[in-house]
Amino acid sequence: MKFRSVLVLTLLAASLTLTSCASKKTKPTDGVDGTDTSSQIDNGNNSGVALELNGDSDSNRAGALKTVYFGYSSSAIEGSTRDTLNANADFLKTNASVRVQVEGHCDERGSVQLNLALGERRAKATRDYLVAQGVASSRISIISLGKEKPVSFGHDEESWSKNRRANFVVTEK
């Protein structure tokens, strides 16, 4: 009788173990490379680019939103910056639930105070342009990081031009 009780308990424990393993949930993937697609907006506008909460345009994790670049000591929106912002505005208008923070950045030249002020002007100019294109201002916050968060660490014009930017961080999707 004792042997039978031990056998029943062993079988019961084994079946509980197996059933608990069988209900394990997995992350959704696209089936091709195992990439998690749960954080992507699937409306055809992303071209499959990840839109992650706190994802940023510098690292291509902000959907179709792209970083924009500025001239030396300038916050003027010109040329390719305007084209990029038009595309960003279209994306934001199509994806009305997405909110962003625009970060204004500068190159390493100049004082901390000068670069914080210039970074703020760049972020404001970027926000104002998007608002003029029909994006609600309540969906866009701004911050200046001055020269504190470079993406390129060289000490030449090529590196500096990459750091004079406004990038987008997804704050709500």
Residue 69 predicted with pLDDT over 70: yes
pLDDT (0 to 100) of residue 50:
78
Q: What is the pLDDT of residue 40?
A: 44
94-114, pLDDT tens digit by residue? 999 999 999 999 999 999 999
In what helix (H) or strand (E) does residue 131 lie, and over which residues does it extend? helix 112-132
* Residues 120, 126, 129, 130, CA torsion sign: negative
| Mean pLDDT, rounded, of the chain | 83
* Reported confidence tier of residue 9, pLDDT bands at 50, 70, 90: low
Q: Domains in the chain, please, with CATH?
A: 28-172 (3.30.1330.60)
128-169 pLDDT per residue, tens: 999 999 999 999 999 999 999 999 999 999 999 999 999 999
> What is the sign of the dihedral through the CA atoms of 144, 101, 126 and 109?
positive
DSSP 27-94: --B-SSS--B-TTS--SSSSTT--B-TT-BGGGT-BTT---EE--TT-----HHHHHHHHHHHHHHHH
